[in-house]
Chain A
Amino acid sequence: MSNAQSLDIPEDLQEDDRPKWDNKFQYILSCIGFAVGLGNVWRFPYLCQIYGGGAFLIPYFIALVFEGIPLFHLELAIGQSMRKGSIGVWNNISPYLGGVGIGSLMVSFLVSLYYNTILAWVMWYFVNSFQEPLPWSICPLNGNRTGYIKECHKSTSVNYFWYRRALNISSDITDSGNLQWWLVLCLASSWAIVYICIIRGIESTGKAIYVTATFPYLVLTIFLIRGLTLPGATEGLVYLFTPNLNILKNPRVWLDAATQIFFSLSLAFGGLIAFSSYNSQKNDCEKDAVTIAVVNSMTSIYASIPIFSVLGFKAITGHWDCLDRNIISIINEFDLPDQSILRDNYTAWLEFLNTTHPKKIAGLKLRNCDLQEFLDQSASGTGLAFIVFTEAIILMPGSQGWAVLFFIMLFSLGLSSMFGNIEGILTPLSEVRIISKSVPKEVLSGIICLISFVTALCFTLRSGSYWLEVFDSYAGSLPLLIISFFEVTGVVYVYGIKRFSDDVKWMTGRQPNFYWQVSWRIISPLLMLIVFIAFVTLQTQKQPSYGAWNPKYEGFPMKEEKDYPAWILAICVLLVVIPCISIPTVAFYHLIKRVLGRRKRKDLNPVNTLSMAPQENDNAFYNGQEYVFTLTINQQK
């Protein structure tokens, strides 16, 4: 008989109906794009600023070395060796841990819901950046054209545009209001863009990632060059990087460094496992892990330089405005010639006038213009991008161009992270047997995008921004810590560190060295546990509250602190519990099955029963081959 396989097929073509990356660069770029996201641009610089500048880099790098890189390597290795998405991988490692994969899937879904809503906001600002003048630079006039709208006049035009024209925010989370049609349109278009890019899984994202992962670096460089030439840039950078080593005594700094590294590397989403599962197995995942994690951190630092140059520019412009206003008051009061007092001799003049006419000066109620105060106005998250930075852009010449560039950069940063999130959903779903093989990839990804779009419509309500905060604080934080803890303990203690090290050795060609062994066995699980406990402690210490934008509040434009009502707290708890509940549920389910199976076998002795549950000494052969369940044949009497 003729044999069909006379060709010597190399090992990495064994699973040849599994899609694979066009080249290694695509894979690396996808992982970098997934890890580098909006948090690198708007969370890290803020943390650097409030935690004593250069000093923050110390806990940050310690967390990177002992928590970030080991966990990252772990995820890449298990995905690459088992060649499955998160659910398949965890079922392989131990069916009792199957819930970890399901948890990852659910967290990816919840996070992608609100992450794409942020991209919808970015899109709204992007389409509004083509106007001259920029719509957030001027306050609209009120009804009889005698002045500006009160809400805008009391706060600033930038705040007004964000809270009123973009979000049309309500004053309370329980006051939902209607769907805001412009946000619905933007949300639809951002989901459509995501759909275009993931329509065929990694075949399409692999092409899109060339643009979306590299474009932000280009824009950051442009902003860097522009930012450094702006006045006040040096003040901003000095302020950012001046180390204040005393801050390291505060344990909060260490916790924030650990959580920042963890969330920044996008661990526990299942997306990294999915990406590396499309690799060939003989790939050096150790080098990849170190490279990508280091690139992610370097990007954070690189991004903070232009951000802080621009913020320094904004601070100094604010300071000059303050001085100018004071100077005008003095000149008008004393009828001095125009331009006789300049910013340079302002303090000298002020002292002179204070000695000669102290009462008049006191009557003017001059504001104390302190540059430090302006530099201290920090913001992170959406506040940085949509309020502080947009305000700075208005002050730069050629603001339309800078605004367009900035928002395209934010959009591509978020989009490349969305690819990872959606792959974390698509890959496991396409492997689970619920969905038939005949469903084409395009339809599956279309269904996922459609369901996500419809669910995310709740973020386009008037209270949508408050809901997004809830999702971000609860669904996108605690479950990830829990899942990651189970990941590392599952691989090290359930699967076996020896077996895992052998797998890694088979893939990379060298046994993981002492650093990896110590980190995986002891340091990372311990760190994850400490971080989790500290995080929960901090969250539960005070009543969860949110800041509401309420024009009728007496302290307006300050935000009004409101507590979450009980039903919303219940939803918060649900958001944490639902992804994590799958871990004990699945373990329990398999335990019950096994107990029942054993009992059945005892009853029907000596006939073996068809059992799909893993037996005590099941030999699962990994290293790329299919998981072999020990099947025993059903012999009926």
Chain B
Amino acid sequence: MLGVLLLVFSLVALAHAELCRPDAQNAFKVRLSIKTALGDNAYAWDASEEYLFKAMVAFAMRRYSNKETTQISNVLLCNMTERVSFWFVVTDSSKNVTTVPGSEVEAAIRMNRNRINSAFLLTDNTLQFLKISSTLSPPIEPTVPVWLIVFSVVLCLVGAGILFLVLSGIRQRRKNNNESAENGDLEDKCDTPVTTENGIPCDILDLKTGRINGVYTADDERFTPL
């Protein structure tokens, strides 16, 4: 009895060794870079972590196939290295000693990549499934391109500036025209160019008799009339 059990056990072990080995059919290599990802908060990779990994893969297979047939014991790990890299296969318990096709495993992992990554606090780069390419998430495109918004702001400012300057220039010119029109009226009355000395325009002064300085008007009687 014991002998039979031992035989079965060793056969199973042998079969497992057959199924899970580097570059086996339907086997995938996994590589973790825990220290790179977490730095000082890095955890050590031990048997419990391996158990979690098996559980995640089994979870992924269950989610993908929607059957609850995959067990943790179906996931086989082998060739553990210090790098923390290893190979794994998923066996099919319904059929004897065969592995689930690689495409199914790949699709399952791809579908649940986020969950697997977050279970280990890692990312696509630090928890690598070689041969399984990750779908790249597209960059977030805002509804209105940002540059158009900034550009419109700049254009509005510039347009407002131009309008303001042009209008103020027109207003300035109109004011100048009005002033020169006033000065023009004064000039018509004067024979000579307008003097604005002390702000006295021509038409107040009577040029025929010369400029009368108001200071001396009091002394008018002193002068002998002609």
Stretch at the interface among A266-274, A302-310, A334-342, A564-572: A334-342
- B211 in contact (CB, < 8 A): yes
User: How far apart are the CA atoms of A128 and B147 in the complex, in Å?
Assistant: 5
- A192 in contact (CB, < 8 A): yes
Q: Given the known A-B contacts A141-B136, A332-B31, are A199 and B166 also in contact in the complex, defined by CB atoms under 8 Å? A: yes
Are B147 and A2 in touch, CB under 8 angstroms? Answer: no
Interface size of B as a range: 35 or more
Q: Of residues B32, B133, B155, B173, which shows the largest number of chain A Cβ atoms within 10 Å of its Cβ?
A: B155
User: How far apart are the CA atoms of A140 and B140 in the complex, in Å?
Assistant: 11
Give the residues in chain A near B146, CB-CB below 8 Å: 128, 130-131
Q: Given the known A-B contacts A195-B162, A331-B83, A336-B83, are A4 and B139 also in contact in the complex, defined by CB atoms under 8 Å? A: no
Closest Cβ–Cβ distance, residue A157 to chain B (whole Å): 11
- B94 in contact (CB, < 8 A): no
Contact with A along B149-193 (1 / 0, CB 8 A): 011001100110110011001000100000000000000000011
Our pick among A123, A138, A335, A440 for the contact of B82 (Cβ within 8 Å) is A335
In the complex, the chain A residue whose C-beta lies closest to that of B85 is: A335
Are B35 and A196 in touch, CB under 8 angstroms? Answer: no
- B48 in contact (CB, < 8 A): no
In the complex, the chain B residue whose C-beta lies closest to that of A190 is: B158
Within 8 A of B (CB), among A572-621: none
User: How far apart are the CA atoms of A127 and B36 in the complex, in Å?
Assistant: 36
Our pick among A146, A189, A331, A337 for the contact of B135 (Cβ within 8 Å) is A146
Give the residues in chain B near A440, CB-CB below 8 Å: 169, 173
- B214 in contact (CB, < 8 A): no
User: How far apart are the CA atoms of A123 and B36 in the complex, in Å?
Assistant: 39
- A401 in contact (CB, < 8 A): no
Within 8 A of A (CB), among B68-95: 81-85
- B195 in contact (CB, < 8 A): yes
- A537 in contact (CB, < 8 A): no
Give the residues in chain B near A138, CB-CB below 8 Å: 139
- B207 in contact (CB, < 8 A): yes
Are A199 and B136 in touch, CB under 8 angstroms? Answer: no
- A147 in contact (CB, < 8 A): yes
User: How far apart are the CA atoms of A141 and B139 in the complex, in Å?
Assistant: 8
Q: Given the known A-B contacts A128-B147, A146-B136, are A189 and B154 also in contact in the complex, defined by CB atoms under 8 Å? A: yes
Q: Given the known A-B contacts A147-B136, A200-B169, are A192 and B162 also in contact in the complex, defined by CB atoms under 8 Å? A: yes
Contact with A along B129-142 (1 / 0, CB 8 A): 00001011011000
Our pick among B34, B151, B197 for the contact of A185 (Cβ within 8 Å) is B151
User: How far apart are the CA atoms of A80 and B159 in the complex, in Å?
Assistant: 35
Our pick among B32, B34, B165 for the contact of A196 (Cβ within 8 Å) is B165
- B33 in contact (CB, < 8 A): yes
Within 8 A of A (CB), among B1-58: 31-36
Give the residues in chain B near A338, CB-CB below 8 Å: 32-36, 83-84
Are A335 and B169 in touch, CB under 8 angstroms? Answer: no
Q: Of residues B34, B147, B148, which shows the largest number of chain A Cβ atoms within 10 Å of its Cβ?
A: B147
- A437 in contact (CB, < 8 A): no
Are B138 and A141 in touch, CB under 8 angstroms? Answer: yes
Are B158 and A193 in touch, CB under 8 angstroms? Answer: yes
Are A2 and B211 in touch, CB under 8 angstroms? Answer: yes
User: How far apart are the CA atoms of A204 and B166 in the complex, in Å?
Assistant: 12
Within 8 A of B (CB), among A118-169: 123-124, 126-128, 130-131, 133, 138, 140-141, 145-148
Q: Given the known A-B contacts A2-B207, A336-B82, are A196 and B162 also in contact in the complex, defined by CB atoms under 8 Å? A: yes
User: How far apart are the CA atoms of A147 and B138 in the complex, in Å?
Assistant: 10
Give the residues in chain A near B169, CB-CB below 8 Å: 199-200, 440, 442
Closest Cβ–Cβ distance, residue A24 to chain B (whole Å): 25
Our pick among A140, A147, A335 for the contact of B81 (Cβ within 8 Å) is A335
Are A332 and B83 in touch, CB under 8 angstroms? Answer: yes
Q: Of residues A1, A2, A192, which shows the largest number of chain B Cβ atoms within 10 Å of its Cβ?
A: A2
Contact with B along A26-45 (1 / 0, CB 8 A): 00000000000000000000
User: How far apart are the CA atoms of A185 and B194 in the complex, in Å?
Assistant: 52
- A541 in contact (CB, < 8 A): no
In the complex, the chain B residue whose C-beta lies closest to that of A4 is: B193
Are A2 and B192 in touch, CB under 8 angstroms? Answer: yes
User: How far apart are the CA atoms of A7 and B195 in the complex, in Å?
Assistant: 11
Q: Given the known A-B contacts A4-B195, A199-B169, are A127 and B135 also in contact in the complex, defined by CB atoms under 8 Å? A: no
Contact with B along A312-356 (1 / 0, CB 8 A): 000000000000000000011001111100000000000000000
Our pick among B31, B83, B138, B150 for the contact of A130 (Cβ within 8 Å) is B150
Closest Cβ–Cβ distance, residue B205 to chain A (whole Å): 9
Give the residues in chain A near B84, CB-CB below 8 Å: 337-338
In the complex, the chain A residue whose C-beta lies closest to that of B84 is: A338
In the complex, the chain B residue whose C-beta lies closest to that of A331 is: B83
Closest Cβ–Cβ distance, residue A82 to chain B (whole Å): 28
User: How far apart are the CA atoms of A140 and B138 in the complex, in Å?
Assistant: 8
User: How far apart are the CA atoms of A195 and B155 in the complex, in Å?
Assistant: 13
Our pick among A140, A141, A196 for the contact of B158 (Cβ within 8 Å) is A196
Closest Cβ–Cβ distance, residue B196 to chain A (whole Å): 10
Our pick among B32, B81, B150 for the contact of A127 (Cβ within 8 Å) is B150
Give the residues in chain A near B33, CB-CB below 8 Å: 338
Are A127 and B83 in touch, CB under 8 angstroms? Answer: no
In the complex, the chain A residue whose C-beta lies closest to that of B82 is: A337
Closest Cβ–Cβ distance, residue B219 to chain A (whole Å): 22
- A6 in contact (CB, < 8 A): yes
In the complex, the chain B residue whose C-beta lies closest to that of A186 is: B151
Are A131 and B82 in touch, CB under 8 angstroms? Answer: no
User: How far apart are the CA atoms of A6 and B192 in the complex, in Å?
Assistant: 14
Closest Cβ–Cβ distance, residue A629 to chain B (whole Å): 26
Are B192 and A1 in touch, CB under 8 angstroms? Answer: yes
Are B83 and A335 in touch, CB under 8 angstroms? Answer: yes
Within 8 A of A (CB), among B101-153: 133, 135-136, 138-139, 146-148, 150-151
User: How far apart are the CA atoms of A345 and B87 in the complex, in Å?
Assistant: 29
Give the residues in chain A near B83, CB-CB below 8 Å: 331-332, 335-338
Give the residues in chain B near A147, CB-CB below 8 Å: 136
Closest Cβ–Cβ distance, residue B133 to chain A (whole Å): 7
Our pick among B36, B85, B158, B197 for the contact of A192 (Cβ within 8 Å) is B158
In the complex, the chain A residue whose C-beta lies closest to that of B152 is: A127
Give the residues in chain B near A130, CB-CB below 8 Å: 146-147, 150
Closest Cβ–Cβ distance, residue B152 to chain A (whole Å): 9
Contact with B along A185-214 (1 / 0, CB 8 A): 110010011011001100010000000000
Would you give 29 A-B contacts (Cβ < 8 Å), ordered by A? A2-B192, A4-B192, A4-B195, A123-B154, A127-B147, A130-B147, A131-B146, A131-B147, A138-B139, A141-B139, A145-B138, A146-B135, A146-B136, A148-B136, A185-B155, A189-B155, A192-B155, A192-B159, A199-B162, A199-B166, A199-B169, A331-B83, A332-B85, A335-B81, A336-B83, A337-B35, A338-B34, A338-B84, A339-B36
14 more CB-based (< 8 A) A-B contacts, given A199-B169, A200-B169? A128-B146, A131-B147, A133-B139, A138-B139, A145-B135, A145-B138, A189-B158, A192-B155, A192-B158, A192-B159, A195-B162, A337-B83, A338-B34, A442-B166
Q: Report the 4 A-B pairs with minimum CB-CB distance, sorted nearest first.
A: A335-B81, A335-B83, A339-B35, A127-B147
